[in-house]
Amino acid sequence: MKTALDCFPCYLRQTLQAARVATDDQSLHFHALQKVAELIADMDLQRTPPENSIAVYRKISEICNCFDPYLEAKQESNEHALSFLPECKKIMAEGEDSLAIALRFAIGGNIIDYGAMRSFDVDAAMENCLTTTFAIDHSDILLGHIRALSKDSTVLYLADNSGEIVYDSLVINELAQIGLKVIVAVKSGPIINDALLADAKACGIDTIARIIENGTQCPGTPLGSCSDELQKIFAEADLIISKGQGNFETLSEVEAEIFFLLTVKCSVVGVHLAEISTTPVECLPGTGELVLFHHKAS
């Protein structure tokens, strides 16, 4: 997915939001906005929005002298999600298909996004995700694909945000329980509230799956910039599950079979997703639609 003109005001909104989290100094807020505006003037529209955002957040960090503005928010998101985990497991145990329910929790958890969203209600999202009709629902294809895999098949699970990764652990555990080898990829450095190695370990994923860093500090998975390890696993995996909007933005035009699980929080993403999935655009306004999309290699 390419960067759109509508991304530019979003970068400025994110800049002010992150700068205010990083410092109370309004002069630095203004300075950050000035410098990011200069960056925007030279942005390459052929790059994906997450790739262009790397320079934006690097500039914010430099000006505000804060390497990880959302560190506290990430920790709080993890703790809140962990407190809800027993209830999730109870609901899964009482349901007809625990994996299908886990997938819903994971997609609902994608609402936790400090880049795309000004504010969000996690509790409401987690409650509603169990009954909400998906805007795109290829869950039967994914469930069938998973159940057709032989034991020891490799699943690459591309994680997105902190907090959300706690709900991802429900899916990952289900996959591990049926004998699949799950490799979870997280980001290699702080960017917005994206999950890092510490976040994955905080919710115990290291006890059920292998965790790797993708080699980038990008709120997505730009394959060409990722580590050789990630690229090799991506090419050889029997199943790729991609979580979140940023991963979708960077992988939507990649020639690979990918199952995208996300909450759509942006009209630009909604339009692009509608186009490549042949879904009516009015079904994807970018206001919190739940999506499980099977992207096929041509």
pTM of the model: 0.95
Place of tokens 């630009």: 268
Instruction: Find the mean pLDDT for residues 156-179.
Output: 96
Per cent of the chain over pLDDT 70 is 97
Report how far apart, in Å, the C-alpha atoms of 97 and of each of 29, 139, 149, 291 are. 48, 12, 17, 18
In this prediction, residue 110 has a pLDDT band, given cuts at 50, 70 and 90, of confident
Distance, in Å, from the CA atom of 213 to the CA atom of 229, rounded to the nearest integer, reads 9
Please give the pLDDT value at position 109: 86
Tokens of 5: 């003109």
Q: Where does the chain have alpha helices with state H?
A: 7-22, 26-41, 49-64, 71-94, 98-108, 122-128, 139-148, 164-177, 197-202, 228-236, 245-251, 267-277
Place of tokens 């909104």: 13
The answer, yes or no, to whether residue 67 has pLDDT greater than 80, is: yes
Distance, in Å, from the CA atom of 82 to the CA atom of 78, rounded to the nearest integer, reads 6
Please give the pLDDT value at position 118: 57
- Return the higher-pLDDT residue of 119 and 243: 243
Report the CATH architecture of 7-64.
Orthogonal Bundle (1.10)
Please give the pLDDT value at position 112: 72
Please give the pLDDT value at position 120: 65
Q: 88-295 in CATH: which number?
A: 3.40.50.10880
Instruction: Find the mean pLDDT for residues 109-138.
Output: 78
In this prediction, residue 168 has a pLDDT band, given cuts at 50, 70 and 90, of very high
Determine the Cα angle at 168 with ends 232 and 223, to 5°.
25
The answer, yes or no, to whether residue 298 has pLDDT greater than 80, is: no
Going from N- to C-terminal start, the domains of the chain cover 7-64, 88-295
